[in-house]
Amino acid sequence: MSESLGEATGVPQAGAPAATATKEPYLEVANLKKYFPVGHHRTVKAVDDVTFTVYRGETLALVGESGCGKSTLGRTILGLYKPTSGSIKYQGKEMSGFHSADRKAFARKAQMIFQDPYASLNPRMSVGDIVAEGLDIHHLCKTEEERDARIEELLHLVGLNSEQADRYPSEFSGGQRQRIGIARALALNPEFIVCDEAVSALDVSIQAQIVNLLRRLQSQMGLTYLFIAHNLNMVRYISHRVAVMYLGTIVELGDAEEVFQSPAHPYTQMLVDVLPVADPDVPRKVLARESGEMPSPIDVPVGCPFCTRCPHRTERCEKERPHLRDMGDGRQVACHLFD
Amino acid sequence: MADDTSKKPLLVVKDLQVSFDTASGEVQAVRGVSFHVSPGETLALVGESGSGKSVTAQTIMRLNPEPPARIKAGSVMLDGVEVTKADDKTMQDLRGKTVGMVFQDPMTAMNPTMRVGRQIDEVVLEHNKIANSEAWERAVRIIDAVRIPNAADRARQYPSQFSGGMRQRGVIGISIANVPKLLIADEPTTALDVTIQAQIIDLLLSIQKEERMAMIFITHDLGVTAQVAHRIAVMYAGRIVEQGDAHTIYHHPVHPYTKGLLKSVPKPGQDRSVDLYAIEGAPPNLIDPPKGCAFSPRCEKCMRICKELQPPATDLGHGHVCSCWLLDPRAKAVADAVGAGAGTSSEEGGAR
């Protein structure tokens, strides 16, 4: 790993999204549920029975509207929330026990990059201390020189220079802060990074810089990404596979390019339809008036979660919840239409 | 699209300069901005955070607290009124009547302790001498017009009982209560989900068409811009670097910043084996902006003159105006050489 870190300071090199993805299961999530009590005996079913696999070296995108549970799912996988039920297997080993050795091993291999580069860095810590915090906690550097060298290496890796280690976050722009957050995530040589809306808060011209950096790091270090986002054009570009979430459940999962080219689930269809195209000569698709809004995750419909807005709903959709079903070619869809 | 816009502009902004006096110095937020908007027309102000698009829009309504804001120079003619010199009374008459504003965050743009209908009829009563009951009826009609179901019941509810999309409809209701001639929408869909965003854009465009309003649409989203704008003004570091009709800006951009911005957005079917085009670096600090072109430190085609002098605005015809030294006849040789070398210039070429 340290070899690849040394090379990483070179010219950014492109890697096709397909270059790093494998078919080796890295994380297997099965029937995962995360409910939050909200008083008056009511619960928010933020993640409601979700099953999927993350393969080593791939970028799996989680997309959906706010409140669909994508962030909760990412955080539950990292162990920031205790799951209500269900299983998460890391390289074939169950991780449901929070204090097991496996859990700890995973915690070192799994990191997170946050959305807001202003709120996610401690303003009173120097950049060097922020980046090295994980190293300090795990006592990975024996000498001060070793620590400084590692900080320098990490800052170079994300396109910052070592003189900036003594400065404070307030001296940096949004894009630079996000680079600091990425350097911190890389400090422990992780295998798996949850990028929770990692570029959404950044300006357009800076987004491209950060996305290129994330892709370069992936091909150099063989990283596996769970990329949580709502910008579908960016998701289509960066990810190998995409999982579309709605009201705590995955409604469609498959190869990113294929899902966007030929969306199967009516909700995915709707998302793709309303996606604004950056070309004034392309006519705007006008939504049906009754396209509605996502219901509250407290009052989830009994049947298909999307049935309140679906143009194809039948009586069966209101009564019976559809489950993810294999459609071939790795595509899975939860919809009675494809029964 | 241009057919339904009349020729006489409703709003003419000329060489506007706005600064903020802060403890760390004068922040030159808007540094000489000129544009106009006609009835029935949508002008999109596009730019990144800190480019001065919101400050420009808020100056039209004089919403920036003065101080720290200070209008240094320039003029804003809105429906025959010189806004930069208007007194408070004149401005109060303008706000809510001649010009309405939709803000980005529907969660904070409403008063949480007032019924939604009351927040709308408040604006109606401010500018019309009518009975309270009549104003309330009008508020209910407006709520219905912004496509909120069960308008009469909803009018009696509080914003907290509304979803995000419905709140933004309510905010739009407040802003159009008196059918303003100009509607300023400052990132009206940025805080919303994509399906709700599409609904709100539908609503704004249909209201605009019915009432032939002039609209200024502020956004950083190039997809949304393409859907709403007749004309586009691209802002960078407090100046408009390029403006023109939507088709020209998207298909024949001239300024290197406009080109870079358009290229850095991934498009459907984009070649995923190649890195995204990225404009390196970051926008300048506006306390001490560069002497020459503000984009020059990030520009691939930067010449010596770019670092020394502000580029003049060059009229390319049909309302297409661009401020770039590459358009100077003397720059042609340089531009060709650099453009060919870098291999990044698009089909149209950097200079004419």
* Per-residue confidence (pLDDT) for residue B221, from 0 to 100: 87
Task: State the nearest Cα–Cα gap between B274 and chain A, in angstroms.
Answer: 6
Q: Residue A279: which of B194, B199, B250 has the nearest Cβ?
A: B250
Maximum C-alpha span of chain A: 69
The percentage of chain B sitting over the pLDDT mark of 70, rounded to a whole number, equals 92
Per the model's pLDDT, the better-predicted residue between B242 and B333 turns out to be B242
- What are the backbone dihedrals phi and psi of residue B170, each rounded to the nearest 5 degrees, phi first? -65, -45
Say whether B30 sits in a helix, a strand or coil: strand
Window 155-184 of B, Cβ < 8 Å to A: 163-166
Closest CA to A317 of A293, A286, A290, A338: A338
Here the tokens at position A141 are 């550097």
* Per-residue confidence (pLDDT) for residue B216, from 0 to 100: 95
Quick check: B279 and A205 CB within 8 A? Answer: yes
Q: Residue A287: which of B164, B198, B261 has the nearest Cβ?
A: B198
- Rounded to an integer, what distance in angstroms lies between the CA atom of residue A98 and that of residue A86? 13
- Rounded to an integer, what distance in angstroms lies between the CA atom of residue B114 and that of residue B276? 47
* Per-residue confidence (pLDDT) for residue A12, from 0 to 100: 37
- Rounded to an integer, what distance in angstroms lies between the CA atom of residue B18 and that of residue B58? 11
Any idea what DSSP says for residue A287?
P
Closest CA to A212 of A202, A2, A107: A202
Q: Is residue B321 part of a domain?
A: yes
Average pLDDT over residues B293-318: 89
Strands (E), B51-95: 69-78, 81-82
Q: Among A111-120, B188-197, B230-239, B280-289, which is the least confidently predicted range?
A: B188-197
- Give pLDDT tens digits for B191-231: 777 888 888 888 888 888 888 999 999 998 888 899 899 99
* Per-residue confidence (pLDDT) for residue B37, from 0 to 100: 94
Here the tokens at position B211 are 């009432």
A290 falls in which pLDDT band (50, 70, 90)? Answer: low
- Span between the terminal Cα atoms of chain B, in Å: 27
Q: What is the pTM of this model?
A: 0.83
Average pLDDT, chain A: 85
Window 32-51 of B, Cβ < 8 Å to A: 48-49
- Nearest residue of A to residue B267, measured between CA atoms: A233
Q: Is residue B314 part of a domain?
A: yes
The residue whose two tokens read 């409604």 is A251
Q: Is residue B162 part of a domain?
A: no
Say whether B221 sits in a helix, a strand or coil: coil
Any idea what DSSP says for residue B19?
E
Average pLDDT over residues B279-296: 88
Window 197-226 of B, Cβ < 8 Å to A: 197-199, 201-202, 220-226
B337 CB neighbour count, 10 Å cutoff: 11
Q: Is residue B315 part of a domain?
A: yes
A50 falls in which pLDDT band (50, 70, 90)? Answer: very high
- Give pLDDT tens digits for B27-39: 999 999 999 999 9
The residue whose two tokens read 């060489």 is B15
ipTM above 0.90, yes or no: no
- What are the backbone dihedrals phi and psi of residue B216, each rounded to the nearest 5 degrees, phi first? -110, 120
Q: Is residue B342 part of a domain?
A: yes
Domain of residue B339 covers 290-352
Q: Is residue B349 part of a domain?
A: yes
- Rounded to an integer, what distance in angstroms lies between the CA atom of residue B189 and that of residue B201? 8
Q: Residue A293: which of B165, B264, B273 has the nearest Cβ?
A: B165
Average pLDDT over residues A216-242: 91
Per the model's pLDDT, the better-predicted residue between A237 and A102 turns out to be A237
Amino acid at A138: H
The residue whose two tokens read 């090379």 is A7
A2 falls in which pLDDT band (50, 70, 90)? Answer: very low
- Give pLDDT tens digits for B71-129: 999 999 999 899 998 888 999 888 888 999 988 887 788 899 999 999 999 988 888 88
Q: Are A236 and A250 in contact (CB under 8 A)?
A: no
Window 292-321 of A, Cβ < 8 Å to B: 293-294
Quick check: B278 and A291 CB within 8 A? Answer: no
* Per-residue confidence (pLDDT) for residue B18, from 0 to 100: 94
Quick check: B279 and A274 CB within 8 A? Answer: no
Q: Is residue B294 part of a domain?
A: yes
Peptide bond connecting B68 to the previous residue in cis, omega within 30 degrees of 0: yes
Size of interface A-B (CB pairs under 8 A): 132
- CA distances B291 to A128, B51, B145, B297, B308, Å, are 33, 17, 50, 11, 6
Per the model's pLDDT, the better-predicted residue between A161 and B293 turns out to be B293
Q: Is residue B344 part of a domain?
A: yes
The percentage of chain A sitting over the pLDDT mark of 70, rounded to a whole number, equals 91
Quick check: B223 and A280 CB within 8 A? Answer: no
Strands (E), B47-103: 69-78, 81-82, 99-102
Q: Are B195 and A287 in contact (CB under 8 A)?
A: yes
A144 CB neighbour count, 10 Å cutoff: 8
Average pLDDT over residues B266-293: 86
Is pLDDT above 70 for A16?
Answer: no
- Rounded to an integer, what distance in angstroms lies between the CA atom of residue A185 and that of residue A218? 13
* Per-residue confidence (pLDDT) for residue B253, from 0 to 100: 94
Number of domains making up chain B? 1
The percentage of chain B sitting over the pLDDT mark of 90, rounded to a whole number, equals 37
